[in-house]
A and B are shown apart, each in its own frame.
Chain A
Amino acid sequence: MNAAGGFADRVENALADSHLRAALDRATSQLGSRRLLALATLDDSDAVRDAARAARLGALANLADNLERFEAKLIANGAQVHWAGTPAEANAIITTIAKRTATRRAVKSKSMVSEETHLNHALEREGVDVVETDLGEYIVQLRNDRPSHIVAPIIHLTKQDVARVMEQRLAVPYTEDTQQLAAIARQHLRREFLRADMGISGANFGVVETGTICLVTNEGNGRMVTTMPRVHVALMGIEKLVGSMAELDRCIKVLARSSTGQKITVYTTLVRGPRGPGDPDGPEELHVVLLDNGRSRILAGETAEILACIRCGACLNACPVYRTIGGHAYGDTYPGPVGAILTPGLRGLRGWNELPHASSLCGACREVCPVRIDIPRMLLALRRDGADDSKPRSLGPAMKVFAFVASRPRVYRGMAALARWSLVRLSRNGWIRRLPGLGAGWTKFRDFKAPAGRSFQQLWRERERQKGRAA
């Protein structure tokens, strides 16, 4: 909705951007090989993936009861639990908390769900300053850009892009040294952490049996956000549950390996409640906001399995389409193969029914998915659903014409010769860029291979003739 133009225009722009394609190619192939190396450090990575899949699907199969138990545990731990059906409801809950706690400044760690609800705009309208603190998301915010990868938000930018925006927005000398760029961000964001009233995070997992929120980060901003401000708000989708700490362990094992190629991220934070009695620090209030926003609708249908996703980003890195067009072309919060299923699910197929077609169905996404989600199966289901109401009316008569021609060999041969003759004339170097009439739909997005100079029947006759000569 934020991206300009239709899907085709966005793809066109991405394809024309050679800078983007070089950055994508380098990053996705590196992340892909790191993933393989990291999985190899497990004795039996297949068994761990199976266990993680079982944990996620098991939590979904009984989601309503699990949510109720999770809520009860959180409340017993001293947290406050809020339920939001829509993005607007989630934003209203959080702005109300901000007002009640006299929050003027909020710091945020990475949360895809907050991108879904456009939380920053909602808070800013209420006069709350919101600062993204994940380095990549901070750059995105400074540029007024959008993240293009769910794990590496500025995969589409070079260090020169980062250097320029820091120079312009933070009034610091231009430097392309990544160590220095990170140091500048550390210094600016440190001030924000120390003075913020509210910390906002997502949640990688919620553990039902203990009422625990699990956050994984590498930079430490997740720890800052859950430690320094007076109030901590965790915004999470209702699908993020696992049953037990043992199941959480399985999921953490595959998450870091699949996303960044680490055994575990630098910081894994398990938040159970607000600051305990006698604790020297930690938030005084912990709020957990559970967001539906279409997830219950997805759960009811054929794409329920996508709710098991743990947002590692491995399917993006593996997808030949993502690797070519990048994240922005998908047009919404979640790009890549997972986005091609999740976006139509969350926002409705109308307006988003091109996304399931942005795949060659090669199956690389299913191959790398740590919880083995069958993405191609669901892409096909969505393609079918999207096609149901758009069957062209001209199809019936066209088939009748074809039947007439195909059942009369002379007519068929004549028509085929005519078609061959004209197609060869339209082609250059073996390819046709633009077909006339009905064929224009095909060549709108792809080239058409020119036919061979001679037909199969001609070749066959020649072959028979040569045999006759040889005999």
Chain B
Amino acid sequence: MSAARTAILDRVRAAQRTALIPGASDAGRVLSDPARSAAEPGAGRVLLDPAKLLAKFLAELTALGVDSYVEFSAADVRERLRAIVGGKSVLAWGAGELPYDAGSVTADAAIGASARDVQAAAEIGVTGCDAAIAETGSLVVLSGPGKPRTASLLPPIHACIVRRDDLQPSMGEFFARRADAIAAAACCTFITGPSRTADIELTLTLGVHGPGKVIVIVGP
């Protein structure tokens, strides 16, 4: 181990003895109180009602400027996707990773193994997701085989297919319920609406690096 490491840790240990951290012991107590740490402060009670999860999720998507479609069969999801994709070139997750059979819609799609410039030229990205967060309208994507991160990042449009069962009330709930899956993935990404910036005069501008348009299809 490096000399810098030892020196830094020694300095930090010495500093901790004199550090003036207000309420630090208090902070420890609060967090170790199981009742307090289990409850997620600020999470809306309404989200504990599964019937309302979907409504909340859709409302958040609308507020973010995301188009959403709710379909009632796998075939309807596929036809909706076909209409959205139209004649555009596709970069998609592997067929086995998409929640429903997309059939011919993604048959000719670029995938994670395709050359970088082919992926970068795609006009629409088609992915599934590992969870969707009702409270914020977020799509959660865990990295893994058959799931190129580029599909939700490089194309100007991202179409994401969500299974209704994958809806989670909040980020905190997702962290708690899916801890093992999160720990097994190299990267976990929360996508909440289209890429945006407000750097120039605080004027909202979409699609600066990631997709400027996000479309969500919720399946059965």
Give Cα A136 to B210, complex, Å: 16
- Docked-complex contact A266 and B144, CB < 8 angstroms: no
Residue on A with the closest CB to B64? A266
B27, B136, B144: the one within 8 Å of A54 (CB): B27
Give Cα A285 to B128, complex, Å: 26
Give Cα A299 to B14, complex, Å: 9
Encode B175-212 as 1/0 by CB contact (under 8 A) with A. 11001001111111111111111111111010111110
B77 at the binding interface (Cβ < 8 Å): no
Give Cα A370 to B73, complex, Å: 44
Give Cα A222 to B172, complex, Å: 22
- Docked-complex contact B143 and A282, CB < 8 angstroms: yes
Enumerate chain B residues within 8 angstroms of A275, measured Cβ to Cβ.
Answer: 143, 186
Give Cα A183 to B188, complex, Å: 27
- Docked-complex contact B113 and A280, CB < 8 angstroms: yes
Enumerate chain A residues within 8 angstroms of B193, measured Cβ to Cβ.
Answer: 266
A26, A27, A219, A297: the one within 8 Å of B210 (CB): A219
Residue on A with the closest CB to B146? A280
**A interface, size bucket:** 35 or more
Give Cα A382 to B15, complex, Å: 18
Enumerate chain A residues within 8 angstroms of B211, measured Cβ to Cβ.
Answer: 220
Give Cα A279 to B194, complex, Å: 24
Stretch at the interface among A115-123, A174-182, A318-326, A355-363: A174-182
B9, B41, B149, B150: the one within 8 Å of A250 (CB): B41
Encode A198-239 as 1/0 by CB contact (under 8 A) with B. 000000000000100000001111011011100000000010
Number of residues on chain B facing chain A (CB within 8 A): 84
Q: Separation in Å of the B164 CB from the closest CB of chain A?
A: 22
Tell me which of A27, A89, A210, A272 has the highest count of chain B C-beta atoms within 10 A of its own C-beta. Answer: A272
A238, A268, A281: the one within 8 Å of B8 (CB): A238
Enumerate chain B residues within 8 angstroms of A60, measured Cβ to Cβ.
Answer: 19, 21, 24
- Docked-complex contact A178 and B189, CB < 8 angstroms: no
A245 at the binding interface (Cβ < 8 Å): yes
A270 at the binding interface (Cβ < 8 Å): yes
- Docked-complex contact A300 and B19, CB < 8 angstroms: yes
- Docked-complex contact B179 and A64, CB < 8 angstroms: no
Q: Separation in Å of the A312 CB from the closest CB of chain B?
A: 15
Enumerate chain B residues within 8 angstroms of A364, measured Cβ to Cβ.
Answer: none
Which chain A residues have a beta carbon within 8 Å of chain B's beta carbons? Answer: 23, 26-27, 30-31, 42-45, 47-48, 50-51, 53-55, 57-58, 60-64, 67-68, 77, 82-85, 89, 133-136, 139, 152-154, 157-159, 162, 178-179, 181-183, 185-186, 189-190, 193-194, 210, 218-221, 223-224, 226-228, 238, 243, 245-250, 252-253, 260, 262-282, 290, 292, 296-297, 299-302, 304-305, 374
Extra contacts, 9 of them, besides A85-B4, A154-B200, A292-B12 (Cβ < 8 A), are A55-B27, A61-B24, A136-B197, A221-B209, A226-B187, A268-B138, A268-B190, A272-B182, A296-B15
